């Protein structure tokens, strides 16, 4: 698959087969994140990798009320929690670049996984305090997002089918709505 096909075919995966992810595959995924660009090359991201199925199932029950919708992570062979140390990144124009750095790195992991047929899904619906407590993450570290990683299951679950029916699906805005050339408003 070339890069363009890889990017265009990627979609969120919420239903996982029983197939395990090998240590070699996991290493390719983690390396893709490690090689990401970051502001001033500060590499503020930190990751927690869950590989123990029982721990994953337990973790899925400890991501807070808001995380109930993301209970499907319980069926993934691997879950990665993307954290960051904001102090190790750059603040410019009042913007916190730790979020950008970590998002780029995590997305690289997801694309590397997809290149091997491994699906994932960005998740922000979790209670940071509860995730921090369960995983023993210190107060100065932010939990930016988390994702299950696993081979997609052919048969989609009810929740995935439900998600497809509203805006949270894979629909995209037209280019005309999101791209402007030369200036914000072009006066004719
Ligand atoms: C920052 C972020 C947070 C997200 N949080 C969730 C989430 O908590 N639960 C979920 O099922 N999907 C979540 N998603 C996945 C989006 O719903 C999905 O990416 C979007 O609908 C586009 O679909 P696609 O990824 O299949 O192209 C999140 C995506 C991003 C980028």
β 95-96/91-92 pair status: antiparallel
Structure tokens given for 144: 């930016």
Least confident of 48-52, 92-96, 144-148, 183-187: 183-187
Angle value at C-alpha 169, between 18 and 77, nearest 5 degrees: 20
CA of 124 to the centre of ligand 1 (A): 8
Least confident of 40-54, 118-132, 168-182: 168-182
Structure tokens given for 56: 């994953």
Entry pTM = 0.95
Q: Each residue of 104-160: pLDDT tens digit?
A: 999 999 999 999 999 999 999 999 999 999 999 999 999 999 999 999 998 888 888
CA of 138 to the centre of ligand 1 (A): 26
**What pLDDT shows up at residue 188?**
59
CA distance 97 to 108: 17
CA of 9 to the centre of ligand 1 (A): 15
Answer whether 7 contacts ligand 1 (Cβ < 6 A): no
Q: What does the pLDDT average to over 6-13?
A: 95
Atom 5 (ligand 1): residue with closest C-alpha? 123
CA distance 110 to 122: 9
**What pLDDT shows up at residue 182?**
93
Taking each helix axis as running N to C, give the angle between helix 97-114 and helix 23-34, from 0 to 180 degrees, rounded to the nearest 10.
Answer: 150
Residues 6+ apart with CB under 8 A from 41: none
**What pLDDT shows up at residue 166?**
66
**What pLDDT shows up at residue 4?**
96
Structure tokens given for 83: 């954290």
The count of other CB atoms within 10 Å of the CB of residue 23 is 9
**What pLDDT shows up at residue 115?**
98
CA distance 186 to 69: 42
Atom 7 (ligand 1): residue with closest C-alpha? 123
**What pLDDT shows up at residue 186?**
63
For the chain, percent of residues with pLDDT exceeding 90: 85
Q: What does the pLDDT average to over 31-56?
A: 98
**What average pLDDT is seen over the chain?**
94
Answer whether 66 contacts ligand 1 (Cβ < 6 A): no
- 181 sits in the region (left: phi over 0; alpha: psi -120 to 50; else beta) called beta
Atom of ligand 1 nearest to the CA of 169: 21
Enumerate domains of the chain plus CATH numbers: 3-178 (3.40.109.10)
Q: Each residue of 64-85: pLDDT tens digit?
A: 988 888 999 999 999 999 999 9
* 185, pLDDT greater than 90: no
CA of 44 to the centre of ligand 1 (A): 23
Atom 15 (ligand 1): residue with closest C-alpha? 122
Structure tokens given for 136: 């023993």
């Amino acid at each position: 698959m070339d890069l363009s096909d890889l990017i265009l075919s990627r979609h969120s995966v919420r239903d996982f087969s029983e197939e395990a992810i090998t240590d070699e595959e996991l290493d390719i995924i983690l390396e893709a994140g490690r090689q990401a660009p970051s502001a001033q090359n500060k590499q503020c991201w930190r990751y927690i990798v869950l590989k123990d199925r029982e721990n994953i199932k337990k973790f899925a029950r400890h991501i807070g009320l808001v995380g109930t919708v993301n209970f499907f992570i319980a069926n993934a062979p691997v879950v990665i929690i993307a954290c960051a140390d904001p102090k190790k990144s750059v603040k410019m124009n009042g913007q916190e670049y730790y979020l950008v750095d970590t998002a780029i790195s995590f997305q690289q992991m997801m694309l590397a996984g997809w290149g091997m047929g491994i699906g994932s899904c960005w998740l922000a619906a979790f209670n940071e305090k509860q995730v921090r407590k369960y995983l023993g993450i210190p107060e100065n570290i932010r939990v930016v997002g988390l994702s299950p990683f696993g081979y997609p299951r052919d048969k989609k679950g009810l929740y995935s089918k439900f998600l497809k029916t509203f805006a949270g699906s894979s629909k995209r805005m037209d280019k005309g709505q999101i791209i402007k050339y030369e200036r914000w408003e072009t006066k004719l």
